C-alpha cells in the first residue's frame, strides 16, 4: 500500500509546463499559417491584430502570473532545504486561497512545535527544581555543616557551605540573567568542590585585562553559561588526562561584545567530534542533553534565543593539546535586563 | 578594550558536495598579525574569496568592524575593504611608485593629478619606513622585496581594514624576510591588521601574535605565540610531517663518494660570481641562495638555455641534453610541466621517451611501465587525463617521471614552494626516493625550512658567491651559529 502511495506522487508542474509550451507552439504555428493563407484577403489585418493581442496577453501572463509563481516556487525550494519558518513567511504569491491556508497551518505547527519543546524543557527544569526542595536541602546541608564543625572537621564543614552556595545559585532564583561576577563566583565555588576530588590536579585561572575588568564583571549573561562548559572541560578533558590540568577563563571586551574563552589543557577531541559539535551548534535545537548538567549546545541556544543570531559558542580543539570554547555575548548592562527578559518571555 | 576587525562564525561552504570550509570560525583584532598555518591547503582559496567578497554562504556569518556583512540569509555580493597580497602582483609595472601608491587607488577622483604633491607624499612615506627608493622609480625596476613592500604600503594608505599576505614568503630571501616582518610589525603597531597565510610555522612564529591551525577545511585551534609553540606544532599538529622527515634523515646512510655527474668551475653569469661546485652520483646537495639573486640564472644555465659568461660546466649542457643527463623540476611543476589533456601514463613516459628510441611507436614500452608502476602509483596511473587528480597525485607524476627515466642529476628548484605541510613531507619522501635510487639531486632553494632534512651537503651562497660549505655532520653546528637563517 505504501509503495502504491509513493507511486501516486506526480509533479503536475512539469506536465503543465510541457502542455502549455506545446499549446503555445501549436497556436503560434496556426496563427502564422492563418496569416499566410489570408495574405491577400481583408481578414489578414484582423488576424494580425488578433495575433499581436495574443502575444501581448502571453507577455502579461508571464509577468503577472508565471514570474510571481516562480518566486513562490523558489521560496518553497529554499524552505525544503533549510526548513526555516522565515522562508515560508516571505511567500507573497499563491495560486489559490487554499495554498495560503496550507502554508499558514504549517507555520502554526512549526511555532507550536518549538513552543512545546521549550515549554517541555521549562517544565522539566521546574519539575527538577520542585523535586529538590531547596529549603530542605539547605537545612540538611547546614545540619551536616554544624555536625562537622562540632566534630572538628573543618574541611567537611567548608565543603557543605560551598555545596549549599552552589545549589542556592543553580536551582533557586529563576532569573534568566546574572552578572559575569556572579557567574565567576559560582565557578570558583564549583572549582572548590571539584578540588576535593581532584586535589592539586585541577587549577583555575581567570584572566581579564585591567582596563576591561570593571565593565566586564557587570555585564549580564545568561545564568549557568560558564558552569556547563567548565564541567565539560573537567570531565571530558582534564579527568581523562594523566597529570595536572588547568582551566583558564579569559575575558575581553570589544566595542560591542564580551568575549569569553574557556580553555583547558586536557585530552582534547578528534576532528570528527569537533566537526560534529560545531555542526550541532548551527542547529537550533533544544535537544542535546549531556549526562550531567545542561549541555553546551543548550548554552549556545539560550544565548541565541536571548541575544540574537550574532552571538553564541564556538569550539576549537586538538587531540592531545586541549579545547577552547569561545563564548560571544553582547555588552549588556543592568538597564537592558528588562528588555532582554521581556524578549525571552515573548519567545516562550 | 580591543577593536574587532573581522569575525567569521561557523562558515560552511560546499562545492560539488564536498566542504570547502567546514564550520570555520575566526576572529581578528585591530593591530594584530594573525597567522594561518596551512597543514592542508584545501579551502584556503575559498576563505580568501569570502574575505574579499560577500558570496553566498550555506551557513554562518561574517562581520567586519562588528557589523554583519554576510550571512546565510543575505549575501550582498559586495566587495569588502580587504587587500590580498600574493603571487600575482597588483602593481602596474609601467608606472612609478608614486602613481601606484597614490593615484591608482579606489577613491582617487581627481582629473588633474597634482604630481608634485604626490611625489612629496610618496617620498615622505618611503622615508618614514626607511625605504631607499625614489618616488619616480618604475615598478618594473623593483625586485620582489620592494614590490611586496609597495603593495603593503598601498594597502595601508588605501585604508583597507585587512591586508592578507598569502604565501609570499618564498618570494623573499632569507635576508629579506626578517626585514619584511619588521615592517609589517611596525605597521601593525600603528593599527594596521594583517592575516598571514603560510604553510610553515617558522615563517609565522617570529611575527604573528596568534597562529591558527588550518586543517580539514576548518580552523582546528588558535595558538598564542609563546616559547612552546614550536614544540607543540612539531610534536602534535605537524607530527605526521616531522616523523616523515626524521625517518628520511635516519635512512640517509653514509655512502662513499661516487663519480662526479655535474661540475661547475668558476662559472659567472649575471649575478652568479665564479661559482664552483660539483655533485656526485647518489648525493643530495642543497644550494641555499641566501639573497635570492641567482636561482633563475642558475636554472637557465642548468636547462641549457643560457651559456656562462666565463667558466665551465661539465658535462656540457644544451637543450638536447636536457632530460637525459640533467633534469630540472621547476617550482610549482604541476602547473607548468604537465599536459592535462594527455593521460597520466603519457605524461609519465615523456622523459623516458627521449632516451628510448621509437618509444611511442612501440606500445610494449608503455605497457611495461604501466605494469611495473601500477602498484606504487595507484589507480591514478590509468587516468585518461590529469583533470580531477589531486595535487599529491600530480606531484607523484612529476617525480616518478625521473624515477623511471633515471637522469644523472635531477635539479629541484624550490621543491616545497606553495605546498602545505603534509605535501611538503610527501615531496621530501619523493626526493629521498630519487636519491636512494642513485640519482644525484641538486636542490636550489632560498629558505631552509625542512630542506635540511633531505640534504647530504649544504652550500651557502650570498650575492652570487659561495660563502660556506657544510657536510651533514656540521648542520647542527651551523644552526646554532646562525639561528635566524637556519631554523628548526
Asked if A278 and B23 come within 8 Å (Cβ–Cβ), the reply is yes
Helices (H) and strands (E) in chain B, counts: 15, 19
Instruction: Work out the minimum CA distance from B245 to partner chain A, whole angstroms.
Output: 21
Q: Give the nearest partner residue to A279 out of B7, B23, B66, using CB atoms.
A: B23
pLDDT at A345: 63
Contacts of A78 (CB under 8 A, 6+ apart): A87
Which chain A residue lies closest to B25 (C-alpha atoms)? A314
pLDDT at B361: 85
How far lies A209's CA from each of A213, A227, A337, B223, B434, in Å? 6, 22, 25, 19, 55
Instruction: Work out the minimum CA distance from B18 to partner chain A, whole angstroms.
Output: 14
Which chain B residue lies closest to A282 (C-alpha atoms)? B10
> Regarding predicted confidence, which is higher, A5 or A111?
A111
Q: Nearest to residue B191, comparing CAs of B29, B318, B386, B304?
A: B29
Asked if A312 and B9 come within 8 Å (Cβ–Cβ), the reply is yes
Asked if A278 and B29 come within 8 Å (Cβ–Cβ), the reply is no
**A312: chain B residues, CB-CB within 8 Å:** 9
Chain B residues with CB within 8 Å of chain A CB: 1-4, 7, 9-10, 12, 22-23, 25, 27, 29, 59-61, 63, 66, 68, 71, 73, 213, 215-216, 218-222, 232, 236-237
pLDDT over 50 (residue A2): no
Segment among A260-264, A332-336, B103-107, B412-416 with least mean pLDDT: A332-336
pLDDT at B165: 94
Which chain B residue lies closest to A319 (C-alpha atoms)? B236
CA angle A212, A218, A220 (to 5 degrees): 115
**All domains of chain B, ordered by start, with CATH?**
4-243 (3.40.50.300), 258-481 (3.40.50.300)
**B20: chain A residues, CB-CB within 8 Å:** none
Q: Strand pairing partners for B312? A: B265
The tens-digit pLDDT sequence of chain B (488 residues) is 889 999 999 899 988 778 899 889 999 999 999 999 999 888 999 999 999 999 888 888 999 988 889 988 778 788 898 999 987 788 888 888 888 887 776 666 666 777 788 888 888 888 888 888 888 888 888 888 899 999 999 898 888 889 999 988 878 888 888 899 999 999 999 999 999 999 988 889 999 999 999 998 999 889 988 777 888 888 888 888 888 888 887 777 666 667 888 888 899 988 898 899 999 888 899 999 888 888 888 998 888 888 888 888 887 666 555 556 788 998 889 888 899 999 999 999 988 888 888 888 888 888 888 899 999 898 999 899 998 899 999 999 999 999 998 888 999 999 998 888 889 999 999 998 888 888 899 999 988 878 888 888 999 998 899 988 988 888 877 776 666 656 55
Contacts of A76 (CB under 8 A, 6+ apart): A91
Asked if B66 and A256 come within 8 Å (Cβ–Cβ), the reply is yes
Q: Nearest to residue B58, comparing CAs of B46, B66, B67, B48?
A: B46
pLDDT at A66: 82
Asked if A254 and B4 come within 8 Å (Cβ–Cβ), the reply is yes
Spatial distance between the Cα atoms of B53 and B45, rounded to a whole number of angstroms: 12
- SS3 for A96? coil
pLDDT at A261: 94
Asked if A253 and B2 come within 8 Å (Cβ–Cβ), the reply is yes
**A321: chain B residues, CB-CB within 8 Å:** 221, 232, 236
pLDDT in tens, A183-206: 999 999 998 888 888 888 889 999
Asked if A211 and B1 come within 8 Å (Cβ–Cβ), the reply is yes
Are B8 and B196 a contacting pair, CB within 8 Å?
A: no
Would you place residue A339 in the very low, low, confident or very high pLDDT band (cuts 50, 70, 90)?
low
Are B221 and A324 a contacting pair, CB within 8 Å?
A: yes
Q: Give the nearest partner residue to A318 out of B22, B71, B236, using CB atoms.
A: B236
For chain A, which residues make up each domain, given as ranges? Answer: 2-93, 132-172, 174-347
Asked if A318 and B27 come within 8 Å (Cβ–Cβ), the reply is no
pLDDT at A287: 44
pLDDT over 50 (residue A332): yes
pLDDT at B318: 61
Would you place residue A131 in the very low, low, confident or very high pLDDT band (cuts 50, 70, 90)?
low
**How buried is residue A243: exposed, middle or buried, by Cβ count under 10 Å (0-12/13-18/19+)?**
exposed
Are B408 and B325 a contacting pair, CB within 8 Å?
A: yes
pLDDT over 60 (residue A40): yes
Range A291-319 average pLDDT: 78
Which chain A residue lies closest to B65 (C-alpha atoms)? A255
Which chain B residue lies closest to A254 (C-alpha atoms)? B2
pTM for this predicted structure? 0.77
pLDDT at B229: 81
pLDDT in tens, A73-92: 888 877 877 677 777 888 88
Asked if A211 and B68 come within 8 Å (Cβ–Cβ), the reply is no
pLDDT in tens, A216-257: 999 988 888 898 899 999 988 888 888 889 999 999 999 889
Instruction: Work out the minimum CA distance from A156 to partner chain B, whole angstroms.
Output: 40
pLDDT at B293: 87
**A253: chain B residues, CB-CB within 8 Å:** 1-2
pLDDT at A338: 62
pLDDT at A3: 46
Which chain B residue lies closest to A81 (C-alpha atoms)? B58
Instruction: Work out the minimum CA distance from B3 to partner chain A, whole angstroms.
Output: 5
DSSP string, B322-338: BTTTEEEE-SSHHHHS-
Contacts of B451 (CB under 8 A, 6+ apart): B286, B288, B415, B416, B443, B445
pLDDT at A88: 81
* Right CATH for A174-347 from 3.30.565.10, 3.20.20.140, 3.40.640.10, 3.40.1280.10: 3.30.565.10
Q: Strand pairing partners for B123? A: none
Spatial distance between the Cα atoms of B284 and B411, rounded to a whole number of angstroms: 10
Asked if A316 and B219 come within 8 Å (Cβ–Cβ), the reply is yes
Asked if A321 and B221 come within 8 Å (Cβ–Cβ), the reply is yes
Would you place residue A285 in the very low, low, confident or very high pLDDT band (cuts 50, 70, 90)?
very low
Amino acid at each position: 500500500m505504501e509503495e502504491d502511495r509513493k507511486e501516486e506522487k506526480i509533479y503536475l508542474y512539469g506536465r503543465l509546463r510541457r502542455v502549455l509550451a506545446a499549446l503555445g507552439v501549436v497556436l503560434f504555428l496556426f496563427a502564422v499559417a492563418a496569416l499566410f493563407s489570408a495574405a491577400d484577403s481583408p481578414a489578414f489585418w484582423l488576424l494580425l491584430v488578433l495575433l499581436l493581442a495574443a502575444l501581448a496577453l502571453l507577455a502579461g501572463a508571464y509577468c503577472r502570473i508565471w514570474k510571481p509563481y516562480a518566486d513562490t516556487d523558489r521560496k518553497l525550494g529554499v524552505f525544503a532545504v533549510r526548513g526555516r519558518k522565515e522562508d515560508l513567511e516571505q511567500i507573497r504569491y499563491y495560486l489559490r486561497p487554499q495554498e495560503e491556508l496550507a502554508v499558514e497551518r504549517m507555520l502554526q505547527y512549526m511555532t507550536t512545535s518549538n513552543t512545546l519543546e521549550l515549554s517541555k524543557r521549562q517544565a522539566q527544569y521546574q519539575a527538577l527544581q520542585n523535586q529538590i526542595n531547596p529549603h530542605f536541602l539547605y537545612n540538611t546541608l547546614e545540619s551536616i555543616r554544624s555536625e562537622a564543625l562540632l566534630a572538628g572537621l573543618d574541611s567537611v564543614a567548608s565543603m557543605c557551605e560551598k555545596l549549599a552556595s552552589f545549589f542556592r545559585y543553580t536551582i533557586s532564583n529563576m532569573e534568566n540573567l546574572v552578572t559575569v561576577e556572579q557567574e565567576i563566583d559560582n565557578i570558583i565555588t564549583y572549582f572548590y568542590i571539584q578540588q576535593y576530588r581532584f586535589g592539586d590536579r585541577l587549577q583555575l585561572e581567570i584572566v581579564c585585562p585591567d582596563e576591561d575588568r570593571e565593565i566586564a564583571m557587570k555585564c549580564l549573561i545568561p545564568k549557568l553559561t560558564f558552569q556547563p562548559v567548565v564541567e565539560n572541560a573537567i570531565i571530558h578533558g582534564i579527568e581523562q588526562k594523566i597529570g595536572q590540568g588547568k582551566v583558564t577563563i579569559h575575558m575581553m571586551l570589544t566595542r560591542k561584545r564580551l568575549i569569553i574563552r574557556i580553555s583547558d589543557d586536557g585530552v582534547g577531541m578528534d576532528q570528527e567530534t569537533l566537526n560534529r559539535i560545531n555542526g550541532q551548534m548551527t542547529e537550533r535545537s533544544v535537544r542535546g542533553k549531556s549526562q550531567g548538567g545542561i549541555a553546551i549546545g543548550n548554552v549556545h541556544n539560550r544565548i541565541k534565543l536571548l541575544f540574537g543570531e550574532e552571538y553564541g559558542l564556538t569550539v576549537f580543539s586538538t587531540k592531545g593539546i586541549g579545547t577552547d570554547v569561545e563564548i560571544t555575548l553582547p555588552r549588556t548592562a543592568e538597564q537592558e535586563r528588562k528588555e532582554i527578559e521581556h524578549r525571552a518571555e515573548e519567545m516562550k | 578594550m580591543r577593536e574587532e576587525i573581522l569575525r567569521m562564525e561557523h562558515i560552511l561552504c560546499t562545492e560539488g558536495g564536498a566542504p570547502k570550509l567546514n564550520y570555520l570560525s575566526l576572529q581578528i583584532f585591530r593591530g594584530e598579525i594573525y597567522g594561518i598555518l596551512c597543514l592542508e591547503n584545501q579551502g584556503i582559496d575559498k576563505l580568501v574569496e569570502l574575505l574579499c567578497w560577500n558570496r553566498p554562504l550555506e551557513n554562518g556569518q561574517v562581520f567586519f568592524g562588528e557589523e554583519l556583512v554576510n550571512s546565510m540569509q543575505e549575501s550582498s555580493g559586495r566587495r569588502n575593504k580587504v587587500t590580498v597580497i600574493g603571487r600575482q602582483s597588483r602593481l602596474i609595472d609601467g608606472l612609478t611608485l608614486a602613481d601606484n601608491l597614490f593615484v591608482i587607488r579606489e577613491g582617487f577622483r581627481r582629473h588633474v593629478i597634482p604630481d608634485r604633491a604626490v611625489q612629496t607624499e610618496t617620498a615622505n612615506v618611503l622615508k618614514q619606513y626607511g625605504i631607499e627608493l625614489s618616488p619616480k622609480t618604475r615598478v618594473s625596476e623593483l625586485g620582489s622585496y620592494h614590490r611586496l613592500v609597495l603593495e603593503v604600503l598601498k594597502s595601508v594608505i588605501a585604508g583597507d581594514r585587512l591586508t592578507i599576505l598569502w604565501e609570499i614568503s618564498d618570494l623573499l630571501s632569507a635576508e629579506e624576510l626578517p626585514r619584511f616582518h619588521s615592517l609589517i610589525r611596525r605597521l601593525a603597531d600603528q593599527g594596521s591588521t594583517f592575516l598571514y597565510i603560510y604553510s610553515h610555522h617558522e615563517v609565522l612564529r617570529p611575527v604573528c601574535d596568534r597562529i591558527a591551525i588550518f586543517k580539514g577545511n576548518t580552523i582546528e585551534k588558535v595558538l598564542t605565540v609563546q616559547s612552546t609553540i614550536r614544540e607543540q606544532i612539531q610534536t602534535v599538529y605537524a607530527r605526521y610531517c616531522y616523523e616523515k622527515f626524521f625517518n628520511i634523515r635516519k635512512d640517509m646512510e653514509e655512502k662513499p663518494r661516487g663519480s662526479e655527474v655535474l661540475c661547475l668551475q668558476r662559472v659567472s653569469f649575471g649575478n652568479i660570481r665564479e661559482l664552483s661546485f660539483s655533485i656526485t652520483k647518489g648525493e643530495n646537495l642543497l644550494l641555499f641562495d641566501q639573497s635570492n639573486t641567482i636561482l633563475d640564472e642558475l636554472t637557465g644555465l642548468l636547462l641549457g638555455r643560457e651559456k656562462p659568461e666565463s667558466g665551465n660546466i661539465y658535462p656540457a649542457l644544451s637543450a638536447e641534453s636536457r632530460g637525459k643527463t640533467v633534469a630540472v623540476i621547476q617550482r610549482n611543476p604541476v602547473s607548468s610541466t604537465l599536459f592535462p589533456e594527455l593521460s597520466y601514463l603519457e605524461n609519465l613516459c615523456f622523459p623516458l621517451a627521449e632516451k628510448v628510441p621509437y618509444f611511442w611507436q612501440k606500445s610494449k614500452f608503455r605497457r611495461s611501465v604501466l605494469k611495473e608502476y601500477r602498484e606504487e602509483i595507484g589507480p591514478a596511473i590509468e587516468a585518461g587525463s590529469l583533470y580531477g587528480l589531486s595535487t599529491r597525485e600530480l606531484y607523484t607524476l612529476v617525480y616518478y617521471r625521473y624515477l623511471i627515466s633515471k637522469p644523472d642529476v635531477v635539479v629541484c628548484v624550490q621543491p616545497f614552494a606553495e605546498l602545505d605541510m603534509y605535501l611538503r613531507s610527501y615531496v621530501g619522501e619523493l626526493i629521498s626516493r630519487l636519491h636512494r635510487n642513485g640519482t644525484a639531486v641538486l636542490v636550489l632553494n632560498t629558505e631552509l625550512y625542512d630542506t635540511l632534512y633531505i640534504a647530504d651537503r649544504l652550500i651557502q651562497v650570498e650575492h652570487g658567491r659561495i660563502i660556506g660549505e657544510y657536510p651533514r655532520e656540521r648542520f647542527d653546528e651551523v644552526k646554532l651559529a646562525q639561528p635566524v637563517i637556519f631554523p628548526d
